[in-house]
Structure 1
Amino acid sequence: MVDMILVTGATGTIGSEVVRQLAARGEKVRALTRDPAGAQVPPGVETAPGHHRDRASVAAAMAGAQAAFLVGVFGPDDAEHDRGLVEAAKAAGVRRIVKLGAIGTGDPRLGRFGTWHLHGEEAVRASGLEWTILRPSAFASNTLSWAAAVREGIPAPNMMGAGKQGVVDPRDVAGVATAALLDPRHAGRTYTLTGPETLSAHEQAAVLAEVLARPVPLHDLTPEERREQLLASGLNETYADGLLVTARFIHEGGNDVVTGDVEEVLGRPARTYREWAEDHKGAFA
């Protein structure tokens, strides 16, 4: 047992599940969140106010922690804050860190998007601490963005064309993070986390249609439509253009990758997209 584990990004897709899994094991957990009063965390979990871009709040939350789960990149302007999380952990005496990154980090075909996590990864490796880096593929939960369209019976937007990805269940990513936070045997490892198969968006839609027993049609967006939707969602042009490069990379097969890292760490096969869909079909009802 580690005396105290800090989880940043504690209300996000992966962070919230890391908090849940650690708490279920009886670990002492502190959740960094911008809204401690509104955060839904398991009983016994501490909350600390703060944000990865607010260095003082991060430093305060790190105090007394022996391990930390670091989520610091949400866009192209976060590299400095990604490094800052590592620096704050080291200054606070944290001895073990697990960084959440992304598959393809460092691949030149991804352009600037492929560099977003590089600065943080370099800081992690140079920290002198026990470290583990996680590079997950596309989350199964990304298809929750289709839920409104599915409920309305209209085609959901497909941003990624026909490219296949090793779609991974967020619960498996969190499971690997939890193992790395608790077990020093994962120190010095970089894990690329995927599901057991690669699937295109249309193949995911077909699985979801079987689970829901109703059609799940998709509308394949043109590059122009993708950019328009990204900008309309509030993203700046740099972020939108980076995501368009990613979409092209996926469409051309760059993310058609399966690894055995989830099974190596967890001692069981990675969950399938169908398993995720069965467990979350209520979100589409």
Structure 2
Amino acid sequence: MILVTGATGTIGTEVVRILAERGERVRAMTRKPEGANLSAKAAEAAEVVRGDFEDPDSLDAAVAGADAVFLLDAPGPWIERHDLAMLDAVRSHGIGKVVKLSAIGTGENSDLRVGGWHLPGERAVRAGEAVWTILRPSSFASNTLRWAPMIRAGQPVANMTANGAQGVVDPRDIAEVAVAALTTPDHAGKTYTLTGPELLSTPDQVEILRKVLNRPIEIVGVPLEEAKEQMIAAGLDPEFAEVAMRGQRFIAEGRNAELTTDVVTVLGRPARSYEIWADDHRAAFG
């Protein structure tokens, strides 16, 4: 039995779907089981359970009887607390394997990257008795879905990272790597940095969307302080907003321009390009 936390998020839903389609026993953890948005096959095959990182009893119940855990959480300063709470449950139940979704650059320049939130969890995973694998993905291709309302409305896409490029990765590749780590012994004790096949800036991605959607798309630069104020005004945690803007500055300075072949190493095929992802999701952009 494989427990997937964050089972209704971008990566979690894919992991649950792939496991279900491969006939694996899978348990999908979510705070609101009644509203779980899973594929038809996953909804039929997966055991959906309630689990809240702030409720240790719910984690204990979710972990009971599992053999492996895929540990992921929404980004934010709460990640350390949530990781350690789940790993306490993992330890108390003697779970044999943990695969943790972290972030690119964890442990390096942690004051600038969301990876700083993941470092305590990574250390705890490595120090535990369970066999472990750590996945450190770069920027998700799906992050550009936030542009969809602007593109549909004919408005310019906001650019906070200038010409800074990243190894944009398809979430489906991350999920497939996670499934490989969860279901085979080949990736024990490994840390993988997961990127796409090419470095892309915001203007690069917009140009690809222009081609795929066959429509004009404009870009407008947004000062980071202005973006931070907008995030806080929208109700986001000020610490989250500050770290997010540091991350945007980090990218703009070209300091996240990293490519690896770890997706190829694990999956035995090239990583999907952003153009492939965009073509597969063209309907979302209108």
* TM-score, scaled to structure 2: 0.95
Q: Which residue of 1 aligns with 2:29?
A: 32
Q: Which residue of 1 aligns with 2:156?
A: 155
Identity of matched residues, %: 54
Q: Which residue of 1 aligns with 2:243?
A: 242
- Give, in angstroms, the shift of residue 94 of structure 1: 1.1
- Distance in 2 between residues matched to 1:168 and 1:74, nearest whole Å: 17
- Distance in 1 between residues matched to 2:128 and 2:231, nearest whole Å: 36
- Give, in angstroms, the shift of residue 33 of structure 1: 0.8
- Give, in angstroms, the shift of residue 112 of structure 1: 6.8
CA deviation vs aligned residue, 1:203-229 (integer Å, no higher than 9, x gap): 000001100000122211112222122
Q: Which residue of 1 aligns with 2:15?
A: 18
Alignment of 1:203-218 (within 5 A): 203-218=204-219
Q: Matched residue of 2:174: which SS?
A: helix
Q: Which residue of 1 aligns with 2:252?
A: 251
Query: Does the 8 Å CA contact 1:65/1:93 hold for their aligned counterparts?
Result: no
Unaligned runs of 5+ in 1: none
- Give, in angstroms, the shift of residue 157 of structure 1: 1.4
2:220 maps to amino acid: H
CA gap of 1:136–1:50, structure 2 versus 1, over 3 A, is same
CA deviation vs aligned residue, 1:112-167 (integer Å, no higher than 9, x gap): 74420000000000002100000000000000000000000010212222210000
Q: Matched residue of 1:14: which SS?
A: helix
Alignment of 1:1-285 (within 5 A): 4-41=1-38, 42=42, 43-72=44-73, 74-108=75-109, 110-111=111-112, 113-285=114-286
Query: Does the 8 Å CA contact 2:134/2:190 hold for their aligned counterparts?
Result: yes
Q: Matched residue of 2:57: which SS?
A: helix
Q: Matched residue of 1:185: which SS?
A: coil
CA deviation vs aligned residue, 1:53-84 (integer Å, no higher than 9, x gap): 22211110000000110013521133122112
- Which consecutive aligned stretches of 4+ in structure 1 deviate over 6 angstroms post-superposition? none
Unaligned runs of 5+ in 2: none
Aligned residues: 282
Q: Matched residue of 1:116: which SS?
A: helix
Which sits farther off after the overlay, 44-53 or 273-282? 44-53
2:28 maps to amino acid: A
- Distance in 1 between residues matched to 2:234 and 2:104, nearest whole Å: 24
